Amino acid sequence: MIFRTDLFQKPPILYPILNRKSCNRKSQMTHLSVNINKIALLRNARGGSLPDLVQAAKDIESFGSQGITVHPRPDQRHIRYDDVPALRAVVTTEFNIEGRPDRAFLDLVLANPPQQCTLVPDTDGQLTSDHGWDTVEQQTELWEVVQELQKKGIRTSVFVDPDAKMVEGAKLAGADRVEFYTGPFAHDFKKDPFEAVKAYTKAAHVANKIGIGINAGHDLNLENLRFFKEHCPQLLEVSIGHALIADALYYGLENTVKMYLRQLQR
pLDDT tens track for 151-181? 999 999 999 999 999 999 999 999 999 999 9
Query: Is residue 245 a part of any domain in this protein?
Result: yes
Residues annotated catalytic, as ranges: 71, 98, 218
Rounded to whole angstroms, how far apart are CA atoms 94 and 57?
11
Residue 12: inside a domain, yes or no?
no
Residue 2 in domain: no
Is 112 within a domain?
A: yes
Instruction: Name the pLDDT band for 128 (thresholds 50, 70, 90).
Output: low
For the segment 103-128, the average pLDDT, to the nearest whole number, is 88
> Is the model's pLDDT at 10 over the cut of 60?
no
Say which CATH number the domain at 156 has: 3.20.20.70
86 domain-assigned: yes
Whether residue 13 lies inside any domain: the answer is: no
Global pTM? 0.88
Domain, as residue range, for 235: 27-265
Extract the runs of DSSP E, i.e. beta strands, from the chain: 31-35, 67-70, 94-99, 116-119, 155-160, 177-181, 213-217, 235-240
Phi, psi of 95 (to 5 degrees): -100, 120
Q: Is residue 66 part of a domain?
A: yes
Is 64 inside any structural domain?
A: yes
Q: What backbone phi and psi angles, to 5 degrees, belong to 101?
A: -85, 60
Quote the number of domains for the chain: 1
Task: Give 55's contacts (C-beta < 8 A, 6+ positions apart).
Answer: none
pLDDT of residue 43: 97
Distance CA 245, CA 1 (A): 22
Q: What is the pLDDT of residues 54-96, one digit of tens each?
A: 999 999 999 999 999 999 998 888 999 999 999 999 999 999 9
φ, ψ for residue 177, nearest 5 deg: -145, 165
